[in-house]
Structure formats: C-alpha cells, structure tokens
Amino acid sequence: MPEPVVSPEPLPTPFASELGSLADPGRHHAPLEIAGEDPRGLLDALRRMVLIRLCEQAIATLVGSGEVKCPCHLGVGQEAIAVGVVKHLTARDHVFSAHRSHAHFLALVDDPALLLHEVFGKATGSSRGMGGSQHLIAADKGFTGSNPIVGGVVPVAVGAALGNKMDRQGNVAVVFFGDGASEEGGLHECLNLAANFVLPLLFVCENNFYASQMDICLRQPSDRISRFAEAHHVPVRVVDGNDLVAVSHAAGELIAEARRSGRPGFLEATTYRWLGHVGHREDIDVGIKRKLDDLVQWKQRDPIARLRQALQTTGHLTPGAFAAMQQEIQARIDQEVAAARSAPYPDPAVLLDYVYCQGGS
Amino acid sequence: MDDPRKGTNYGEAILAAYEYLLATYPKVFTLGQGLWSPWYVGNSMTNLDKKFGQARVIDTPISELSTTGMAIGASLLGYRPIIVYPRMDFMILAMDQIVNQAAKWRHMLGGQSHAPVTFRSIINRGGEQGAQHSQALHAWFAHVPGLRVVMPYTVQDARDLLIAAVLCDDPVMYIDDRWLYGNVIDALPPVTELRLVDQRPEVRRVGKDVTLVAASFSVHLAMQAAAALEPEGIACEVIDLRVINPLDVAPVVASVAKTGRLCAIDGGWRTCGLAGEVIAAVVERLPVSVLQAPPRRLTLPDAPAPSSKPLEELYYTTVAQVAQTARELCAMRRVG
C-alpha cells in the first residue's frame, strides 16, 4: 500500500506589527494633551465629531428598523480623522472618499440634512436621491465625490490634484481611503504618479485594521500602510487617528506643504470602527470575527470622550454645556429625519435624464 | 493607396484636431504613454509636445488605470483632457476608471457633476500582432450607458469628431483605426465645430437594392464592395454609423424600409456585438413584410486574433465577403 499523501500544514501568514502602541487597543485611553491649543477650535471640532457620531447612530437605527435600505458603511469611532483633516481645507479644495464617507462629508458640510435625505433616497438629498449612502457630493463645500469601488476614487483624486496644479491657486486635493485600498494596485500607481508629477495631494489612510471581515494580519505582512508611500518617496506622518490634536497637526503640516511646494503627502491614522463593515450591528462581519476584547478596549480610545474630558479638565467645557450641545444636534437630526421621511423621491424622468448632459437616451 | 504627400490623410486629420483644440482651448491637454516620442500613434501626434509644451502634452508612466483616473479627475475641475491609448488592448487595464467612474459619475451624483474627458483609443491590428495587440472592443464600451462612443470613418470625421468629442460635456470614447490612416482627401475644409449630440449616421452611398451598415474601417470595406457590385447592377446603400452609443438607428431603419435587405458589417466579435445590435434594432422597428431576405452580419469569428499569416487572412472580413453577402441577399425576394 502506498503511503497516503498528506498536504503539509499551510504556513501561517507572516505578520509583524510595525505600529507599536498605535495598533494596541489597550493604549492611548487618557484625555488628550491640549495645552497650547486653541480651545475654540477644539470646541468646534468636538461639535463636528458629535454631529458625525449622532448622525451615524441615527442612520444605524434607521438601518436597523429597515427604514433605510441602501448599504450604509458607518464610521462610528473614526470621527477625529475626518474633522482633524477637514479643518485645514477650504471650499476650493477637492475632497474624495470611498464607501465609509459620511464622516468626511459631514465634517465639511457641517449639517445632517443632505446626508439624511440621501440615505432615504429622496430628491432632496445631496445626490438628489441618485446616490444613497455610497455616492455623495457637496461640490460647493469641496466634497467632490465619494463612491464604493475600493481604491477607485484615488486615481480621480490624483487628477484633481493635477487640475489644482494647473490652476496655480494653491488648492489641494485630499483622498480618504482605508487600509484595504492599499491592496489594490491602483493606489501604488497613484503614489508613483503623485510623486513623479509633483502633485498637491494628501493621501489619508484610515487604518482600522479590517478590510470588510478580514484582519490585516491575514492580508499583509505588516500593519503599517505608510511603508508604501515611503517606497515612492512621498512624505509620511503616522498618528493615532483617535487623537484629534495629533491628526490635526500632522494633516495641517502636510496640507501646508502641499499648498506651498505642490508636493504630495501621506497621513496614516490608526483607528477602529465600532460597527461592522456595513450596517448597524457590531457583530455583523461575516467570516473571521473581530475580537470582542479589542472592540471593548478600542471604545476606551474614544476620540470624542478623550477630547471632551480634556476640555472639561481644563475648564473649557462643562458637562452641562456638552449635554446641551448633544441635545441641540440631536434635535436637528430628528428634525431632518422627519423631513426626509416626507420628502419626495426623484422624478422618474431623471432615470434617463441624468445619463448624459444633453440629449442621448 | 493614394500618395500620402498629396492631400490630407486620416492620421494627419487627427493631428489637425489636436492642433486646433490645443491652440483654441487653454483647458485642453493630452496625456498617455509615448507622447514625447509618438511613433506608436502613426502620424497623428507628431511634434505636439514641441508645439504646445510638455506641460500640456504629457508622457506618462505605464499606469493605464491611474493615468485614466488622472484624466477623469482633471475633467471634474473643468479641464478637457484627451487620454490616449496607442493600442486598445492595454486600455482594458483602465476599465474600472472608464466604466465605474467616468461613465457613472454624473448619474450617481444626481446630475450635479460631470466628467468631460475623451478616451482616444486606437484599433491597431494585422501584421501578425496576435491576440493581445489586435482587439476592436468598441461594442463593450457602447454597452455602457453614460459613455458616448465615436468611430470616425472619413478623413474629415477623424478631425471633426475628435473636436466634437473633446467639446462634449460627457465622457467620450473616440476610436480610430490604423487601417484607415492611409485614406486621403484632397483638402480639409476649415474647422466647423460640431455638437456631438447632433451627430447622426450618414448615408455614404445611395442605393436601392441592399443596405450595408458599418462603422469605422468596416465602412471602408462596404464602400469598396459597393463599388465592385455597381457593374453587376447591384446598387448598395452604405450607412456610416459614426456614433455607436447612443445609437441612432432611424436612418438605418429608413434605408432598410426602402431596400428590404440589410447586411451589418463589424470589425468586432459576433456574440453580443455591434452588428447584432444593429440588426435587432432594425428588425424590431419594421413590419416583417418589409424584409425581402433575412438580415445578415459579417463579423470576426468568435476567436482571439491569430498571429500566423494564413490564419490572419481567414480571420478578418474581406471586401469579397461583403460583396458576396450582398449578392446573396439581392438574389432573395420575399415570397407571398
């Protein structure tokens, strides 16, 4: 009898974390260090982060109840990156994002109406009801477009940066994407193009360690995405993405450099999403489950709580004022949810009318 | 073939379009591989970098996907980029940007933003180049709503439809064919800017017996076949589609209503191709009593392009095949 053929055990995916404490959910729980910061700027940032948090939670409730049906990729827990980057931008800059884009949109637009109406698919939404959660635009605020092909919008952002360079007005392009997008070849092409053509583009990688259900340790030999930017000679900053102050300083430096010299930059900000890849539940990710311990600990690295505590400890915010801020924002959200429910759907004619600018179909 | 030193040939007409656009419109620029030594693109881009500068005639790294996105992104800011693919086969690497981004941008954002970008791709086949250097994929792109697809046949259209494509507010796929680069006209008239949305199929030859429908180089085959059939007393009507998406079949329907016979000729594959689309669109618009014979189509066989010369000769449609098909159609008459 011949020996049965036994396949050898597959080699484990070789993985080594290179992010140190930034990837450790047990670290960075303390209130932020805000000495020397402008408290008014921080209070405004806190307010925008609370707007994002409450709006995402409202959408989660609507998804859970079945009222909102389009796929919603929620960014609860990731608010500081959007707010910390966007505070350095003007409406003449060009911001692009991917499937998890609500935070970036709200940080720029600073009002929940257009997003809430859009997730209901109503003609009063940001994309006139044609986009849903995944295709957003607010051109007058600098939000140029988002869509859910992973990494797909990055080359478009490179083109906006080329346009900015040709315009010679000092405007910049910013593209938000996740760690998963670094596994698409296009991102590597884009890093090379931005470096080669010297384009004023800020790459912002929100590294939340998961691409859909897959842990980064099963996808890459390292968790440090910015190594790809270094390979293309693009200047890199790596920060705790749940630290509004750290994000803001790093983004501010890179954006100022892009405006001054036209050079690209790469910001890697570590964070964690509290909810599943898509939808309203924490445990929705299929396949390889996230570790519950990690989630519990990451919630201790809450970007909002850490900023709020710092502002309270230093006397710039009272618990009562924070509660009032939350109530005011919640009331605005509730008002727009009610308005969205009764708003009209798009006119059937636009199904064909929006295909081409003129004539056509 | 005519002496290329006399008159203007198809490649020179494309060059004239670039020169007109770059001289007239500061927001126009062009990018692609090899543009600073453009031997890949025949005579269609000669010396543009020297005339208009390398900031507006941009030679790029070998990154079809991202350079395509770069053109789309610049177009969102009001620029009018022309991205060039010297061989259509390599454009497949940019499919996501063309189909997922440019073509859908306006629709999925509620008509509030649009991408006026021109993708200029070249069909470059024959000469034993084989499966990955020979493809004519226009039907793929014509399948995508939001993407206008233009295929010039005449020398003047080679210039004027490129200008119209770049001035159009929608993303446009402009496809030229290297097998047409030797076609010549005596003199190009001065440029008149055309609105792409107004462009319709043109009757290139009037006839009463059979309708031959084609685009690009296939019109060339149809015209030669029609000339060959004239002494036999067969009068072919030849229709040049010019724009294959959105496809306006009304002139074809009108012609077939007159001739009762239809042959669609296409340089792409048979299955789900342009020829089948033309036949379907005509048949569903005419009463069955109009047709004197079942419509026919001449296409590539459903196989990749071969390299070996004898197989290549089998592969591509010839003037003789078009003429023979027209003869067979004209020999048939509806009974009853």
Q: A interface mutation test: which of B25, B54, B66, B117 has the most A CBs within 10 A?
A: B66
The C-alpha atoms of residue A209 and residue A187 are separated, in whole angstroms, by: 17
Residues of chain B with CATH 3.40.50.970: 8-198
Q: Among residues of chain A, what percentage have pLDDT more than 90?
A: 88
Q: Decide if A193 and B61 are in contact by the 8 Å CB cutoff.
A: yes
Which helix (H) or strand (E) segment is A268 a member of?
strand A265-270
Q: Decide if A193 and B63 are in contact by the 8 Å CB cutoff.
A: yes
Q: A interface mutation test: which of B112, B168, B194 has the most A CBs within 10 A?
A: B112
Residue pair B216/B267 in contact by the 8 Å Cβ criterion: yes
Phi, psi of A158 (to 5 degrees): -60, -40
In-domain check, residue A247: yes
Residue pair A210/A253 in contact by the 8 Å Cβ criterion: no
What's the gap in Å between the CA of B64 and the closest CA on chain A? 9
State the architecture of B202-330 in CATH terms.
3-Layer(aba) Sandwich (3.40)
Q: Tell me whether B100 touches chain A (CB under 8 Å).
A: yes
Domain hosting A119: range is: 39-276+302-343
Q: Which of A137, A167, A189 sits opposite B65 (nearest CB)?
A: A189
What's the gap in Å between the CA of A348 and the closest CA on chain B? 12
Q: How far apart are the first and last CA of chain A?
A: 71
What's the gap in Å between the CA of A310 and the closest CA on chain B? 40
The one catalytic residue among B19, B114, B133, B328: B133
Q: How far apart are the first and last CA of chain B?
A: 46
Q: Which of A155, A346, A350 sits opposite B70 (nearest CB)?
A: A155
What's the gap in Å between the CA of A51 and the closest CA on chain B? 23
At the topology level, CATH places domain B8-198 in Rossmann fold (3.40.50)
Note the pLDDT tens digit of each residue in A288-298: 567 888 899 99
Phi, psi of B126 (to 5 degrees): 85, -175
Q: How many helices, marked H, and strands, marked E, lie in chain B?
A: 13, 14
In-domain check, residue A9: no
Buried b (16+ CB within 10 A) or exposed e, A331-359: ebbeebbeebeebeebeeebeeebbbbee
Coarse DSSP helix, strand, coil percentages of chain A, rounded to the nearest 5 percent? 45, 10, 45
Query: Which class for B169: exposed (0-12), middle (13-18), buried (19 or more C-beta within 10 A)?
Result: middle
Q: Which of A125, A163, A190 sits opposite B74 (nearest CB)?
A: A163
Residue pair A281/A217 in contact by the 8 Å Cβ criterion: no
Tell me, yes or no, if B138 is annotated catalytic. Answer: no
Q: Tell me whether B53 touches chain A (CB under 8 Å).
A: no
Residues 258-297 of B with CB under 8 A from A: none
**Is residue A5's pLDDT more than 80?**
no
Note the pLDDT tens digit of each residue in A55-87: 999 999 999 999 999 999 999 999 999 999 999
pLDDT at B2: 44
Q: What pLDDT band is residue B39 in, cutting at 50, 70 and 90?
A: confident
Q: Decide if B61 and A185 are in contact by the 8 Å CB cutoff.
A: no
Q: What pLDDT band is residue B106 in, cutting at 50, 70 and 90?
A: very high
In-domain check, residue A355: no
- Indicate if ipTM > 0.90: yes
Note the pLDDT tens digit of each residue in A328-350: 999 999 999 999 999 999 999 99
Q: What one-character-per-residue DSSP string does B149-176 give?
A: EE---SHHHHHHHHHHHHHSSS-EEEEE
Residues of B in contact with A167 (CB under 8 A): 77
Q: Tell me whether B76 touches chain A (CB under 8 Å).
A: yes
Q: Decide if B105 and A158 are in contact by the 8 Å CB cutoff.
A: no
Q: Which of A145, A152, A353 sits opposite B100 (nearest CB)?
A: A152
The C-alpha atoms of residue A32 and residue B285 are separated, in whole angstroms, by: 71
The domain that holds A203 is classified in CATH as 3.40.50.970
Number of structural domains found in chain A: 1
pLDDT at B4: 46
pLDDT at B335: 77
pLDDT at A289: 67
Q: What one-character-per-residue DSSP string does B197-266 give?
A: GG---EEEE--SSEEEEE-THHHHHHHHHHHHHGGGT--EEEEE--EEETT--HHHHHHHHHHS-EEEEE
